[in-house]
Amino acid sequence: MPIPTTISTCTPETEQGKHVFRIVGYSQQSGLIRSAIFTVGGHGWVVSLCPDTMGQELNAVWVLVSLGFKGTSKVRASFGLKLVDQCTGVSFSVHKGAPMTFSPDGTRETFLMKKRSMFESPNYLRDDCLTIECVVSLTNGRRLTEATPLPRIEVPPPDITEHFAKLLEIEEGVDVTFSVGGVMFKAHKMVLAARSPVFRAELYGPMREEGRKAIVIEDVQPDVFRAFLHFIYSDSLPPLDDLSADDYGEMIRHLLVAADRYAMERLKLMCQSILCESLDVQTVATTLALADQHHCHKLKDACIEFMTNMMDTVVATQGYKNLKRTCPSVAFEALEKTKRIRKA
């Protein structure tokens, strides 16, 4: 069974702003070229370009670009730098920085060096005009979602048994017929063989009888065989609510015999469970004999345990007298075990 699961998400809250800085008469500019102060996230920023204030050798190759912080409280931010193609208007990224902390009393500016040839390319420096886009991204804390159930897709319970039960009901594709007490039952060899090793041997084994119109089932009542087939196809007992308590118990006993005969272990255990829950003084001895005959050890132990505290009453029943006559060893074993249990 899946463990109930919830999910929440923590994401940084970010705010972005873009400032377009146009430098007209680029070649005529000298010293530090600063943009106007622009605001992103309630804080002031300024982008600066310094193409010619450095040493002569460096100046020939590099351009210094910086982002200055003009705010009054600490903030965590990153910035990206783009150059705008003067012919197409498309911007090209030349820098994308990692987030860093800016503060009024500490780090107020970040610097980067870029090749001069990049800035002065004919695509970007046209008619002595250069356009720079500066994108500032601020992290303004965290946003935490509420814990919600993890999305699930409900899958309905298996319904294969319903389809198999319907297959038996409509008799489509049947290929074997049973004669039970003069009543004909049609079924599917493959289904029977898959459910019972005994049926598999009878229908597909070397001893199978070819060409026989109907397989005769002896010592099984038609109603019992019908219920037995229902279990084979649906893995459940048919509705038996219309039976009286005595008839219901008798049906379960017959089904246990059929389950043992055809090695249907789950049906055999189900029948034992039902009989165990319905033990009474009048039926316990009969059920004990049945359990012994069909090797139902758990049911046999349950019967003996039931008899322990009311042995005097049980021995007076007709069922116990029949048990002593037909299975004296079982009656003696039950008597001895109840004595030992009482002494313990």
Residue 267's nearest CA partner among 235, 221, 242, 300 is 235
Question: What residues pair up with 93 in beta bridges, in sequence order?
Answer: 82
Residue identified by tokens 């500490």 is 106
The angle that helices 284-293 and 328-343 make with each other, rounded to 10 degrees, is: 110
Give me the pLDDT at residue 316, please. 84
Q: What is the pLDDT of residue 217?
A: 93
- Beta pairing, strands 75-84 & 43-50: unpaired
Q: Are 6 and 148 spatial neighbours (Cβ–Cβ below 8 Å)?
A: yes
Mean pLDDT in runs of 10 for the chain (344 residues)? 84 90 90 92 91 57 88 90 90 89 86 86 91 91 82 85 88 91 94 95 79 84 96 93 90 96 96 93 90 92 85 83 82 75 65
Identify the helix (H) or strand (E) that includes residue 143.
strand 129-144
Q: What is the pLDDT of residue 53?
A: 52
Task: Specify the pairing of strand 215-217 against strand 176-180.
Answer: parallel
Q: What is the residue extent of each domain of the chain?
A: 9-141, 159-278, 279-344
SS3 for 141?
strand
Q: How far apart are CA 341 and CA 292, in angstroms?
A: 19
DSSP character at residue 86: T
Alpha-helix residue ranges (DSSP H) falling in 262-316: 265-277, 284-293, 297-308, 311-314
- Between CA 211 and CA 277 the distance in angstroms is 45
pLDDT of 199 reads 94
The CA-based angle 305-306-309, given to 5 degrees, is 90
> Quick one: pLDDT at residue 130?
93
Residue 206's pLDDT is 78
Which two tokens mark 252? 């379960």
Q: For residue 74, what are its two tokens?
A: 């600490």
Domain 279-344's class?
A: mainly alpha
* Homologous superfamily, domain 159-278: Potassium Channel Kv1.1; Chain A (3.30.710.10)
pLDDT at 342: 67
The pair of structure tokens assigned to 155 is 């899958």
Q: Output the 3-class SS for 59-83.
A: HCCEEEEEEEECCCCCEEEEEEEEE
Other beta carbons within 10 angstroms of residue 227's beta carbon come to 21
Angle at 59 between CA 57 and CA 62, to 5 degrees: 110
pLDDT at residue 55, as a whole number: 47
Q: If you classify domain 9-141 with CATH, what class do you get? A: mainly beta
